[in-house]
Amino acid sequence: MTSIAKLHEVASQVRRDIVRMVNMAGSGHPGGSLSSTDFLTALFFKEMNHNPKTWTREGKGSDMFFLSAGHLSPVYYSLLARTGYFPVKELAEFRKIGSRLQGHPSVERGLPGVHVASGSLGQGLSVACGAAIAKRLDNNKNNIYVLIGDGESEEGQIWEAALFAAQKKLDNLIAMTDWNGQQIDGPVCSILNLGNLESKWLSFGWDCLIVDGHNMESVLDAFKWAKKLAGNGKPKMLLMKTNMGQGVDFMQGTHLWHGKAPSNEQTEKALSQLQETLGDF
Amino acid sequence: MKEIFTNIGNKDTRSGFGAGLLEAGRNNPDVVALCADLTGSLKMDEFAAEFPERFIQCGIAEANMIGVSAGLALSGKVPFAGSFANFLTGRVYDQVRQVVAYSDTNVKICASHAGVTLGEDGATHQIMEDIGLMRMLPNLTVINPCDYNQTKAATIAIAEFHGPVYLRFGRPSVPNFTPADQKFEIGKALKMIEGKDVTIFATGHLVWESIVAAQELEKSGISVELINIHTIKPLDRKAVLESVTKTRAVVCAEEHMIAGGMGELIAGLLSRELPTPVEFIAVDDMFGQSGTPAELLKEYKLDSGSIIEAIKKVFLRK
């Protein structure tokens, strides 16, 4: 069993990976990667039923994870590497020519753990719905997990998929929103306000829970809640309340670090706030 | 010219798709079908009735349908997503690009009502850019069969082929003249008529118009070779170059814009490998309008009479 203390240790290392990857690449998206680190660490290291060693793109007999908000590739790649999908040292190849770690996730070069390309926003929830239907057709009881962004939820396709998942009673679908309240141009509420996200998902026919996305106990409870409700005929949405840039003081709570690489000096400052627990790549 | 093609009775190519889909569904339990509120128009009703658990009604939400198809495909299913060509290309181009073509998912994009012969619904629905849009995407195979029998055979063939495919067909009832028992070979051009003076490369509904034109020209002494390019991508380069080496004059005929179409593709190949005069039977940078299919073919110079004029013109350019 992975304890909460252990999950915090992993999350700290994942945050170091994110900062270092983006710094080394000179570009990338640290803000949302840092905001979604805690609950994704809980998912990958504790809640999801997956085996990196026997992973296939088809995902037979396994839970599947889809990253719809593809710009969160730094946190995704770090978690894939840290759970054993590919060598941790490969994180140094992020965004480099010829790399399997493309700026946004891709399957073209066969990176283990990635089922589909993402980056152009709004599409991953639909893909996850398709995978959820396939599981049902195959009488497979595994769950499908998918992460979308709150800014991403401005895309119309998200709401097409929301209607669809409820219509098809996809109760093996557990979606998460990284609700950090920020997007490239500024706070979500001042760009295209999503209003009451909880009531929106509820009115679309989903089970929905607001979760403190940085509190490991709350996150674990939320996943248990969602899994327990599998079979009730409704898709699940976990609205993870998070802070943009969580864990690095000067990146926190602002859209300015959505898609910007820290300088070497800023990287040193950030790393001084994040304990190295599993060894840097 | 010895080949005689007999119209065994007019039928719509979309019904060929519907019949092929049903057979593909019977052949393979992993075949699933998706539609965006156009089940009857796409002739998917028989599949839906026989395999209700494998038929996924998506509602008027094509972007989501493409994503759902990709999710099914990467999980090992063989999804056939059906709608009008307009809504499966331009409307969802980014979805097709990211989760189908770039992700190389085994999705069959089944596009009906393509081209001007959609008829009375008018230009909003008459897409003539779709071949260009789809053939620009790496990994995607683009197929445009010519009649009912060939559309049915192509549908069955793409179910057995692993990889994303754009299958284009149409609404109107048109001559059905290819064999019912044909085996459809993806990527292999079909020589319909052997000739020596001019080659017509035709695709889709214009294959029949080209047969009519070739038969008419036989009387005036121009020997026309007709090649059915049912697979636009990958193009059968060998068949194109072999025929043109012999005839050294080309007409390309398609129900599509000149820009991005099969004709430009062939002209591009010839300009590199075998510079040759080419005439285009295709729409020249304009939108369609309401009318009957026959009226529209004539109006936009896609009919057999226009093909005859193009053949005469290119013959003189040799």
ipTM above 0.90, yes or no: yes
Kindly determine whether residue A163 and residue B68, on different chains, have CB atoms separated by under 8 Å. Answer: no
Whether A106 has its CB under 8 Å from any CB of chain B: the answer is: yes
Instruction: Specify whether B265 is located in the same domain as B217.
Output: yes
Contact A134 B98 (CB under 8 A): no
Give dist(CA B149, CA B11) in Å, integer: 9
**What's phi and psi for B99, nearest 5 deg?**
-100, -10
Number of H helices, E strands in chain A: 10, 7
Tell me if chain B has a CB within 8 Å of the CB of A235.
no
Q: Does B309 fall in a domain? A: yes
CATH (domain of B226): 3.40.50.920
Answer whether A235's CB lies under 8 Å from A166's CB: yes
Q: Which amino acid is at B289?
A: Q
A161 contacts B102? CB cut-off 8 A: no
Same domain, B225 and B279: yes
Q: Which whole number is the average pLDDT over A113-121?
A: 98
Last residue of a domain, one of B174, B206, B227: B174
Read off the pLDDT of residues B248-270 as tens digits, 9 standing for 90 and up: 999 999 999 999 999 999 999 99
Asked whether residue B33 falls in the same domain as residue B150, the answer is yes
Residues B70 and B196 in one domain: no
Are B129 and B273 in a shared domain? Answer: no
A100 touches chain B (CB under 8 A): no
Please state the rounded mean pLDDT for residues A84-107. 98
- Both B166 and B21 in one domain: the answer is yes
Same domain, yes or no, for B148 and B283?
A: no
Residues of chain B contacting A106 with CB distance shorter than 8 Å: 102-103
Q: Taking a C-beta distance cutoff of 8 angstroms, is the pair B278, B250 a contact?
A: yes
pLDDT tens column, A133-179: 999 999 999 999 999 999 999 999 999 999 999 999 999 999 999 99
* Residue B2 reports pLDDT greater than 60: no
* Residue B185 maps to a domain: no
- CA dist A217 and A108 (Å) reads 37
CA distance A103 to chain B (A): 14
The CATH code of the domain that includes B59 is: 3.40.50.970
Identify which of A107, A123, A163 has the shortest CB distance to residue B67: A123
* Cβ contact, residue pair A120, B73, below 8 Å: no
Residue of A nearest to B76 (CA): A58
Could you tell me which residues are beta bridge partners of residue B251? B200, B279
Question: What pLDDT is stored for residue B3 in this prediction?
Answer: 63
Name the pairing type of β-strands A186-187 and A182-183. Answer: antiparallel
- Residue pLDDT, tens place only, A181-207: 999 999 999 999 999 999 999 999 999
Task: Return the residue in A63, A68, A109, A127 with the most chain B beta carbons within 10 A, the one to mutate for interface testing.
Answer: A127
Question: Hey, are the CB atoms on A126 and B76 less than 8 Å from each other?
Answer: no
Q: What is the pLDDT of residues A19-64, one digit of tens each?
A: 999 999 999 999 999 999 999 999 999 999 999 999 999 999 999 9
Which residues in A lie closer than 8 A to residue B61 (C-beta atoms)? 157, 160, 163-164
Specify the amino acid at residue A275.
Q
Q: Give the one of B68, B103, B105 whose C-beta lies nearest to A164's C-beta.
A: B68
Mutate to test the interface with A, among B74, B80, B87, B140 (most CBs of A within 10 A): B74
Kindly state whether residue B182 falls inside one of the protein's structural domains. no
Which of B142, B174, B206 marks a domain boundary? B174
Do B142 and B229 share a domain, yes or no? Answer: no
Closest approach of chain B CAs to the CA of A272, in angstroms?
A: 38
In this prediction, residue B316 carries a pLDDT of 96
Q: Which of A129, A126, A73 is nearest to A101 (CA)?
A: A73
For residue B197, report the phi and psi dihedrals to the nearest 5 degrees. Answer: -95, -45
Q: Which chain B residue has the Cα nearest residue A66?
A: B71
Q: Are B195 and B201 in contact (CB under 8 A)?
A: no
Q: Is B50 left (phi over 0), alpha (psi -120 to 50) or beta?
A: alpha
Q: What is the largest CA-CA distance in chain A?
A: 53
Share of chain A above pLDDT 90, in %: 99
Do B154 and B203 contact (CB within 8 A), yes or no?
no
Nearest to A128 among B53, B71, B76 (CB): B71
Classify the phi-psi angles of A279: left when phi > 0, otherwise alpha if psi is within -120 to 50, otherwise beta. Answer: left
Cβ contacts of residue A228 below 8 Å, gap of 6+? none
Asked if residue B70 and residue B95 are part of one domain, the reply reads yes
Report helix, strand or coil for A79: helix
Count the neighbouring beta carbons within 10 Å of the beta carbon of residue A71.
24
- Say yes or no: B121 and B160 in one domain: yes
Nearest CA among B285, B2, B10, B30 for reference residue B160: B30
Q: What is the CATH number of domain A4-271?
A: 3.40.50.970
Q: How does pLDDT run across B201-240, given as a tens digit for each residue?
A: 999 999 999 999 999 998 989 999 999 999 999 999 999 9
Catalytic residue check, B299: no
Burial of B129 per CB tally in 10 Å (0-12, 13-18, 19+) = middle
Q: From the candidates A71, A136, A137, which should be mutated to test the interface with B, based on the most B CB atoms within 10 A?
A: A137
- Residue B118 has a pLDDT of 95
Is B6 contained in some domain? no
- Answer whether A163 touches B (CB < 8 Å): yes
Cβ-Cβ contacts under 8 Å, B102 against chain A: 106, 108, 117
Residue A262, amino acid: P
d(CA B312, CA B317): 9
Let me know whether B18 and B91 are in one domain: yes
* Residue of A60, A130, A138 with shortest CB distance to B71: A130
Average pLDDT over residues B114-129: 96
Confidence of residue A272 (pLDDT cuts 50, 70, 90): very high
Subunit contact A134:B70, Cβ cutoff 8 A:
no
Question: Residue B114 and residue A151: Cα distance in Å, rounded?
Answer: 36
pLDDT of residue B4: 73
Size of interface A-B (CB pairs under 8 A): 113
SS3 state at A236: strand
Out of B148, B174, B200, pick the residue that ends a domain: B174
Establish if B4 belongs to a structural domain: no
Chain B residues touching chain A at CB-CB below 8 Å: 32, 53-54, 56, 58-59, 61, 63-77, 79, 94-95, 97-99, 102-105
Q: How confident is the model at residue A89 (pLDDT cuts 50, 70, 90)?
A: very high
Q: Among residues B3, B46, B50, B62, which one is catalytic? A: B62
Residue B5 lies in a domain: no
Nearest Cβ partner for A134 among B65, B77, B94: B77
Any chain B CB within 8 A of the CB of A156?
Answer: yes
Question: Is A172 in the B-facing interface, judged by CB distances under 8 Å?
Answer: no
Number of domains in chain B: 2
Q: Are residues B32 and B105 in the same domain?
A: yes
Look up the domain containing B145 and give its range.
11-174
